[in-house]
Structure 1
Amino acid sequence: MTNHYRYIIFHKPYGVLSQFTQESPKHSTLKDYIDVPDVYPVGRLDWDSEGFLLLTNDGQLQHRLAHPRFGHERTYWVQVERIPDADAINKLQTGVEIQDYRTLPAKVRLLLQEPLVCDRNPPIRFRKNVPTAWLEMALTEGKNRQVRRMTAAVGFPTLRLIRVSIVHLQLDGLQPGQWRDLTSSELKSLHNSPKAHKSNSKLLKF
Structure 2
Amino acid sequence: MKNSIESLNKKIVICKKCPRLAEYIQDVAKNKVRRFKDEKYYGRPLSGFGDIKARLLIVGLAPAAHGGNRTGRMFTGDSSGDWVAKVMHRHGFASIPTSQTKNDGLVLKNAYITAAVRCAPPQNKPTREEMEACFGFLEKEREILQNVTTVLCLGKIAYDATCKLFSVKSEKFGHNKLFVYDSIKIITSYHPSKQNTQTGRLTWSQWSAVFAKAKKLVKN
Regarding TM over 0.5, the answer is: no
- Structure number with greater CO (CA < 8 Å, separation at least 6) is 1
Which is greater in Rg? 1
Q: Which has the higher strand share?
A: 1
The structure carrying a bigger helix percent of its residues is: 2
